[in-house]
Amino acid sequence: MNSTQQVLAGQVALITGGARGMGEAEARLFAQQGATVIIADVLDTEGAQLAHEIGDNASYMHLDVSDENNWAQVMGSIDEQYGGLDILVNNAGILRFATIEDTTLEQYMAIVNINQVGTFLGMRSAIPLLRKKSGKSIINISSFDAMTGSNGLIAYAASKWAIRGMTKVAARELGQEGIRVNSVHPGGISTAMTGDTSSWAHNVRKLVPLYRAGEPEEIAKTVLFLASNQSSYTTGSEFTVDGGLANCNLYETMPGAPVDQT
């Protein structure tokens, strides 16, 4: 592929939670598409190794997305090195299961602080840098759980619904400056978060209309579309990439469900 075909040629992108899973897939795809990629995570060894594998157009920075001071340090470094930022992907997140009654306030706030507050801090601290560059795209990774409600996920669902709402506020506030803000809602993707095992993938497919688990690369393609100029008239929108899971959570018990042939 030559540089004229690379949709992110010359752009600088920051991907939080970029050391593994979907963030890793996005980092690899963005770099292939000509971007300079900053991988930010708390997994320093994995993040640095990934940056090394990708090559000269990738680097790693330690970033705990729930830490306001850490955001200021990272954005200061990016501004100094690259003179701004074209693309921010707020991808870092954690998942914990517990019923409402069994969720302590401490557990609830731990999830909200990373998933929800991390996304707020990311958007807020990126705005001055996005103004300096032409890309001007923020992609917030929410979840299919912000389209529906799953039992055992009170804090996670709250944080992901908040991301969906904050995306629309940001799109409204920043649109006049050409900064676009969209949310992506994955579901059923095979990563470390969901267990990354063949038995998990085997079980989840029975709930998914497309009858298989998704791969991180399938999310990365949607994120690339939103990061690039290919989506130039799209902002404040929701992109569900979940094999149909969000709208079909009773699928297994309804007429017309796939027949399990195993």
- Stretch touching ligand NAD by CB under 6 A, among 99-107, 124-132, 180-188, 228-236: 180-188
- Stretch touching ligand NAD by CB under 6 A, among 1-9, 29-37, 86-94, 173-181: 86-94
100: region left, alpha or beta (phi > 0 left; psi from -120 to 50 alpha): alpha
Q: How far is the CB of 207 from ligand NAD (least distance, A)?
A: 12
Residue pair 68/74 in contact by the 8 Å Cβ criterion: no
Residue found under tokens 């690259």: 82
- Stretch touching ligand NAD by CB under 6 A, among 35-43, 50-58, 101-109, 248-256: 35-43
Q: How far is the CB of 161 from ligand NAD (least distance, A)?
A: 12
Q: How far is the CB of 261 from ligand NAD (least distance, A)?
A: 24
Residue of 8, 87, 111, 114 interacting with ligand NAD (CB under 6 A): 114
For the segment 57-76, give every residue that binds ligand NAD (CB under 6 A). Answer: 63-66
In this structure, the number of other CB atoms found within 10 A of the CB of residue 159 comes to: 27
For the segment 182-241, give every residue that binds ligand NAD (CB under 6 A). Answer: 186-189, 191-194
Task: Give the nearer residue to ligand NAD in terms of CB position, either 36 or 194.
Answer: 194
Measured between its terminal Cα atoms, the distance across the chain in Å is: 41
Q: Is 82 a catalytic residue?
A: no
| Annotated catalytic residue, options 60, 82, 108, 156 | 156
In sequence order, the 6+-apart residues with CB closer than 8 A to the CB of 79 are 85, 128, 129, 132
With CA atoms as reference, report the closest residue to 17 among 55, 44, 35: 44
Q: How far is CA 130 from CA 75, 85, 205, 235, in A?
A: 11, 5, 39, 15
In sequence order, the 6+-apart residues with CB closer than 8 A to the CB of 121 are 65, 66, 68, 71
In terms of residues, how long is the chain? 262
Q: How far is the CB of 91 from ligand NAD (least distance, A)?
A: 5
Task: Give the nearer residue to ligand NAD in terms of CB position, either 48 or 95.
Answer: 95
Active-site residue set: 156
Q: Which residues bind ligand NAD (CB under 6 A)?
A: 16-17, 19-23, 41-43, 63-66, 91-95, 114, 141, 143-144, 186-189, 191-194
